[in-house]
Amino acid sequence: MGEIYSPGKLMLTSEYFAVDGALVLAVPTKLGQEFFFEEKHDGKSIIFWEAYHQNKLWLKAVIDYKNWQILETNITSSAEFILKVLKNVQSLSEIQFKNTYTYHLKTNLQFPPDYGLGSSSTLMNNLAEWANIDPFHLNSISLGGSGYDIAVAKAKSAVLFQNKPEIRFEKINFSPKFKDELIFIHLNQKQDSREGINLYKSKIKSQNLVDEFSDLTRNILLCNELENFSDLMLLHEQKISDFIEIPTVKSKFFPDCPTFVKSLGAWGGDFVMSAKFEGFEDYFWGKGFSTVFDWCDLID
């Protein structure tokens, strides 16, 4: 049985503005998604799909890919999404689902799905690598979004990413001197990224504002001191808040926090980033947020 792996991701800069070409800094997580595959040349045109969360089976589906019908499943809505994606794989690929084979395909998501670390993007990249197709194209027709998460999954590295005038990304080594002072807090309020992007798209924006976030990303890369990094994170957060007219996560949940609190990705859920201070663990636990990671625990 063959195996492919893609890491998860965290978006550190330019959330929302990424869809308009702002420069994004994103990093890979230590946990990602595994994809296992096996095919038998038996003339049956059947896909046996199994999906696991942290090695626990949650979805099973049997799909007839000659007629693109779900023959069996335990979760119809999820199986329909998988069918749609696999049908897109067939349309783009010159090698997969072109013959009468039986495919045994299995995924294992290594992190909880509500972490927002890229359950969909890691799947898209794994399938694209398996089918020898462009993961950005597969993601675009299956899900949409800026594509930065696909870049991290494909590069298996921290990246600088832009999608305009065309998609381009650069592998970088992002390991700030003060990384041991950074922490990530899970808000346990999973957000729909597409819903947030639709809100953002409904607002009029200027190219100058998009460029300001690219400049912020470049300046953040140059930071050698936590104080400077913190100031830029506060500025970044306030600019987003002013534009989308949603209060910052700090003002909503942590108004008395002595350090910055920076949203990562869709606002209001998933992970936020902050910095250590005396008693920080008790502080976040006291606010009801018990999942706190050091940088080295979460970032590869």
Q: What is the pLDDT of residue 269?
A: 63
End-to-end CA distance of the chain: 26
Q: Are 213 and 235 in contact (CB under 8 A)?
A: no
Name residues whose C-beta falls within 8 Å of residue 175's C-beta, 6 or more positions apart in sequence.
Answer: none
The helix or strand, by DSSP H or E, that contains position 191, with its residue range, turns out to be none
pLDDT bracket for residue 196 (50, 70, 90)? low
Q: What is the pLDDT of residue 192?
A: 53
Helix (H, G, I), strand (E, B) or coil at 97: coil
pLDDT in tens, 100-149: 999 999 999 999 998 989 999 999 999 999 999 999 999 999 998 899 99
Distances 116 to 151, 264, 268, 269, 299 between C-alpha atoms, Å: 16, 10, 12, 8, 14
Provide the whole-model pTM: 0.94
pLDDT bracket for residue 194 (50, 70, 90)? low
Residue 201 CB neighbours (<10 A) = 11
Q: What is the pLDDT of residue 203?
A: 81
Domain parsing of the chain, residue ranges = 2-172, 179-298
- Architecture of 2-172 per CATH? 2-Layer Sandwich (3.30)
- Architecture of 179-298 per CATH? 2-Layer Sandwich (3.30)
1-29 b/e (C-beta count within 10 Å ≥ 16 → b): eeebbbbbbbbbbbbbbbbbbbbbbbbbb
pLDDT of residue 1 exceeding 90: no
pLDDT in tens, 34-73: 999 999 988 899 999 999 999 999 999 999 999 999 999 9
Which tokens go with 295? Answer: 């940088």
| Mean pLDDT score of the chain | 94
The helix or strand, by DSSP H or E, that contains position 229, with its residue range, turns out to be helix 226-244
Cα–Cα distance between 98 and 101 in angstroms, integer?
A: 8
pLDDT in tens, 239-286: 999 998 889 999 999 999 999 999 998 776 689 999 999 999 999 999
| Residue found under tokens 């002072």 | 181
Cα–Cα distance between 66 and 138 in angstroms, integer?
A: 20
Query: Percent of the chain beyond pLDDT 70?
Result: 97
